[in-house]
Amino acid sequence: MTLELPIVERNGGASRRDLLKASVIGGGLVLSFSIAPKAGAAGAGAQALNAYVRVAPDGIVTIMGKNPEIGQGIKTSLPMIIAEEMDVAWENVRIEQADCDPKLYGSQFAGGSLATPMNWDDLRKVGAVARAMLVSAAATAWNCPSGECKTDAGHVIHVATGRKAAYGALAGQCAGVAAPDPKTIPLKNAKDYKIVGKAKPQYDTKKIVTGQPLFGIDVRVPGMLYATYEKAPVFGAKVASANLDAARGVKGVKKVFVVDGTTNLSGLLPGVAVVADSWWAARKARNQLNTQWADHPTSKQSSAGFNARAAELAASPPQMNLRKDGDVDAALKGAARTVEAAYSYPFLAHTPLEPQNTTAHFKDGKLEIWAPTQNPQPGRQLVAATLGIKVDDITVHMTRCGGGFGRRLSNDYMVEAAWIAREAGVPVKLLWTREDDMRHDYYRPAGYHYFKGGVDDKGNIVAWQDHFVTFGEGEKLASSAGMGGTEFPSRFVPNCKIDQSIIPLSVPTGPLRAPGSNALAFVNQSFIDELAIAAKADPLAFRMKLLGDAPLVGAGPSAYNAGRMKGVLAAVEKMSGWAGRSKLPKGTGMGVAFHYSHAGYFAEVVQATVTPATGAIKVDKVWIAADVGRQIVNPAGALNQVQGAALEGLSHALYQKITIEGGAAKQSNFGDYPLLRMAAAPPVEVKFVITDYPPTGLGEPALPPVIPALTNAIFAATGKRIRDLPIDTKQLKA
Amino acid sequence: MAYKLNVNGKVLEADVDPDTPLLWALRDTLGILGPKFGCGVAQCGACTVHIDGKATRSCVYPVSAVGDKQVATIEAMEHHPIGKKVQAAWMDLDVAQCGYCQPGQIMAATALLAKTPKPTDADIDSAMTNICRCATYTRIRAAIKQASGQKVTA
């Protein structure tokens, strides 16, 4: 049941860095310089310079957005990189969303905050090569060497004579011309950037604010019907009986049928499909089904059972060891002070606001799909394998996604739509209810950590022991349920032991924004805080000391740049006024935490106030210092991502929990699975610390530290330590 | 049953069951796709429209209850004196991430400003109950302040 996804997996599977390396070195740059303009593409007469770029006679440059847009702003920021090197005026750029086409675009997915690091070099070359072709066309016409020409805002200029030609006039001369070798083409110096590093609104912002159809749910195809699909609350249970005729009797219903499905929890699960002339008719008919589900071996699973099993495992010898440095037992005995604590966090659902949907049309053996997906290529393969048709006979159009957060890396809804559309014989839009979404997710796995730690009398951590109880089958971990042996603070503590035990699980799990990190930062940065308090130290200074004096710890993919972390920690100390926190009123406290993930270094401070009578928490403010290298591609989008990720982390901490009962998810909608709303959203102040490292992604790494920064702030405010999420405010009553 | 609905200044006919939520009459029958489906239980506000100027969650508002009331959707806000200012502020501050909730947020903000031209933070907190899953609340608040001609601090 582990999903094979191009995202961070800590134990087993390729690491994010491996994937990054494979993509960049192993032919990530796909330059198809001879393709013809797409039939029917905007800008008649436009000349394609490569798979990404078309130039029209009027100078309008159309750039393809290669990756799925899920709200991370990538449809805008990747074309900015191409436009910068091409030297075109941004107002003359038009962006089109590419279809799923790995032959033209290589990897196309939204995950792991990888789009910027994986595409930064390649797309700069795409733009630079296109520019070089236009310069070469002008130089040929002027009978001069290319080196005598410069470019500016969509024009080639002959420096000596001042002759000037517009890209639109030159592009036609590039037809059939071989592209130069990208290695021979110089890239711009960052100081000359006119687009990259400048705040650009999202390309689709006007369409968004005027309500134009952009999303998967808005797709309309002539002759299209609407479908709903009912699956068992117990994951994978088969249909025992359903009153299909009652559903067929509802006005507007066209087809009702049982789908046997497969046993693959990431694929087509068994269920009942209702197809009607409107979604509401299908939805009403579904209420008539009275579906009974066959017994299923996993129907006894429950969160209560997992909790009990975790406690048993904690009291037993661990099943495996992930890391052992020094002698933890001896160090604990010799420590000036020791702390022991048990932490836990729950399953979480993703709940992107646009419910899962896909429109599919099966005709003459070929399938056309319109889907809001983060991961179209595996989706296409899943559909091909399940329906028994060829991958090449499936076209996947990527629509804008109403949120992703990792949920749409799985394509279960895509394969359902494809199957139903083939059965229906007409185009079908499958749309899930919110309840379908919340009860059929690939949940962030729950987890348990049993810590022992010790400090010496100089404020150093001398012993760190974590018995991590997680989920899987045998020794194989559930998706996103793993922890590496290099997780901080290992390597920074001389005596360190990390063990692991596994509880069997048949609940589907998967990556949720900053997978692994969104839970591990909470437990590790909280327990570090406990040790700081035990050492009677300033929690921020204690962390600074823990990071040590070596700038780089470890090597290769697991290297940890302590120098960069100290840089953001120092920055957030200053921004937040940490030194003055003793002047805060009673009941108000500041907490700090940091975390490295997705190649980004983040340190965050939260100020929170707890009302003694009720235990109610008010988050007053969040400060974030971020280091993602030397270049922020689009500062407007970057700030939005960081603020949003931090506020999402507050939702995790304050509200969210999926409970498994009777093998099924208990929660079903935003009433019992709340999200942060305006009234609870604090200001989030962000500073990007610029360092001379390659630019990396921002979708995820801001999220993890905010959770322990909040729980540490609550400790500072109340003296009460939060060790289980979500926070139980009853425990905070004075 | 055929209902005559006054939507965005036009009378449109929707032949749907009386219990059909206005949202689905708008989206599936009339092809007005700006109002979004998010939860179906009036929790998230992605489906917010104006009914006689009042921000209303159309996913639980039966079409039979509309009668001759005036329905306005995000599609009409470009011609709404306050709505267009709200949209302009939303674009200027680049509020959206995924954008899915923003039509509903703009409808809620426009209704707020129609009633309270200079809303305080507390007014914004109590009126803006729509969910933004991407949590763009910082910019939503700033855009409301900007559209109402107040100083933007965020």
- Within A443-599, where are the H helices? 517-534, 539-547, 562-576
B100 to chain A nearest CA, in Å?
Answer: 5
Residue A546 belongs to a domain: yes
Say how many domains are in chain A: 3
User: Which residue did the predictor score with more confidence, A213 or A42?
Assistant: A213
Domain boundary among A403, A431, A459: A431
Packing angle, helices A539-547 and A562-576, rounded to 10: 160
CB proximity B90 to A under 8 Å: yes
Contact A153, A84 (CB under 8 A): no
Statement: residue A5 has pLDDT above 70: no
For residues A321-347, average pLDDT: 98
List chain B residues with CB under 8 Å of A640: 94, 97, 134, 136, 139
What's the pLDDT band for B127 if we cut at 50, 70, 90? Answer: very high
Q: Please give the residue of chain A at the shortest CA–CA distance from B35.
A: A211
Residues A601 and A724 placed together within one structural domain of the fold = yes
The answer for A 63-82 residues in CB contact with B (under 8 A) is: 70-73
Any idea which architecture B77-147 has in CATH? Orthogonal Bundle (1.10)
Q: How far apart (Å, rounded) are the C-alpha atoms in residues A557 and A706?
A: 25
What's the pLDDT band for A30 if we cut at 50, 70, 90? Answer: very low
For residues A125-140, average pLDDT: 96
CB contact under 8 Å between A434 and B39, yes or no, is: yes
Statement: residue A9 has pLDDT above 90: no
Q: Please give the residue of chain A at the shortest CA–CA distance from B153.
A: A683
Question: Where do the structural domains in chain B lie, given as residue ranges?
Answer: 2-75, 77-147
Packing angle, helices B102-115 and B137-147, rounded to 10: 40
Q: What integer pLDDT is reported at residue A31 of this predicted model?
A: 44
CB contact under 8 Å between B124 and A678, yes or no, is: yes
The string of pLDDT tens digits covering residues A636-655 is 999 999 999 999 999 999 99
Residues A603 and A571 placed together within one structural domain of the fold = yes
Statement: residue A11 has pLDDT above 90: no
Residues A120 and A153 placed together within one structural domain of the fold = yes
Residues A340 and A364 placed together within one structural domain of the fold = no
Domain boundary among A431, A460, A475: A431
Q: A718 vs A583, A589, A655, A682, CA distance in Å?
A: 15, 8, 19, 20
3-state DSSP helix/strand/coil % of chain B, to nearest 5: 40, 15, 40
The string of pLDDT tens digits covering residues A442-491 is 999 999 999 999 999 999 999 999 999 999 998 899 999 999 999 999 99
A593 to chain B nearest CA, in Å?
Answer: 21
Which domain CATH number covers A153? 3.30.365.10
Q: A327 vs A100, A296, A318, A337, A461, CA distance in Å?
A: 52, 46, 17, 16, 13
Contact A694, A571 (CB under 8 A): no
CB contact under 8 Å between A404 and B98, yes or no, is: yes
Give the residue among A246, A266, A282 at the shortest CA–CA distance from A416: A266
Residues A336 and A285 placed together within one structural domain of the fold = no
The string of pLDDT tens digits covering residues A528-548 is 999 999 999 999 999 999 999
Q: Where are the beta strands (DSSP E) in A447-494?
A: 447-455, 461-473, 476-477
Residues A45 and A26 placed together within one structural domain of the fold = yes
> What are the tokens at A49?
């310079």
Q: What integer pLDDT is reported at residue B152 of this predicted model?
A: 82
List chain B residues with CB under 8 Å of A684: 138
Residues A468 and A366 placed together within one structural domain of the fold = no
Q: Which helix (H) or strand (E) holds A127?
A: helix A115-142
The string of pLDDT tens digits covering residues B40-61 is 999 999 999 999 999 999 999 9
What is the CATH code of the structural domain delimited by B2-75? 3.10.20.30
Residue with tokens 């299909």: A244
Q: What integer pLDDT is reported at residue B100 of this predicted model?
A: 98
Residue A196 belongs to a domain: no
Residue A310 belongs to a domain: no
CB contact under 8 Å between B131 and A204, yes or no, is: no
Residue with tokens 């009978």: A143
The Cβ of residue A142 has, within 10 Å, a number of other Cβ atoms equal to 16
CB proximity B38 to A under 8 Å: yes
Q: What integer pLDDT is reported at residue B154 of this predicted model?
A: 52
What ipTM did this prediction achieve?
0.98
Q: A633 vs A76, A197, A639, A660, CA distance in Å?
A: 10, 5, 11, 41
For residue A489, is the peptide bond before it cis, meaning its omega torsion is within 30 degrees of 0?
A: yes
CB proximity B45 to A under 8 Å: no
Q: How far apart (Å, rounded) are the C-alpha atoms in residues A609 and A74?
A: 36
Residues A509 and A419 placed together within one structural domain of the fold = no
Q: What integer pLDDT is reported at residue A15 of this predicted model?
A: 38
CB contact under 8 Å between A202 and B94, yes or no, is: yes
Residues A387 and A532 placed together within one structural domain of the fold = no
Residues A103 and A228 placed together within one structural domain of the fold = no
Q: What integer pLDDT is reported at residue A18 of this predicted model?
A: 36
Residue A4 belongs to a domain: no
For residues A249-253, average pLDDT: 97
Residue A576 belongs to a domain: yes
Statement: residue A191 has pLDDT above 60: yes
For residues A509-530, average pLDDT: 98
CB proximity B97 to A under 8 Å: yes
Domain boundary among A189, A204, A235: A189
What's the pLDDT band for A506 if we cut at 50, 70, 90? Answer: very high
Statement: residue B64 has pLDDT above 70: yes
The string of pLDDT tens digits covering residues A60-93 is 999 999 999 999 999 999 999 999 999 999 999 9
CB proximity A164 to B under 8 Å: no
Residues A324 and A362 placed together within one structural domain of the fold = no
pTM (two decimals): 0.94
| A/B interface, count of CB pairs below 8 Å | 181
For residue A378, is the peptide bond before it cis, meaning its omega torsion is within 30 degrees of 0?
A: no
The string of pLDDT tens digits covering residues A578-628 is 999 999 999 999 999 999 999 999 999 999 999 999 999 999 999 999 999
CB proximity B143 to A under 8 Å: no
What's the full length of chain A, in residues? Answer: 734
Residues A673 and A691 placed together within one structural domain of the fold = yes
> Domain residues for A570?
317-347+443-732
Residue A555 belongs to a domain: yes
The string of pLDDT tens digits covering residues A342-371 is 999 999 999 999 999 999 999 999 999 999
CB proximity A672 to B under 8 Å: no
Q: Please give the residue of chain B at the shortest CA–CA distance from A434.
A: B39
Burial class of residue A133, CB neighbours in 10 A (0-12, 13-18, 19+) = buried
What's the pLDDT band for A44 if we cut at 50, 70, 90? Answer: low
Q: What integer pLDDT is reported at residue A178 of this predicted model?
A: 86
What's the pLDDT band for A699 if we cut at 50, 70, 90? Answer: very high
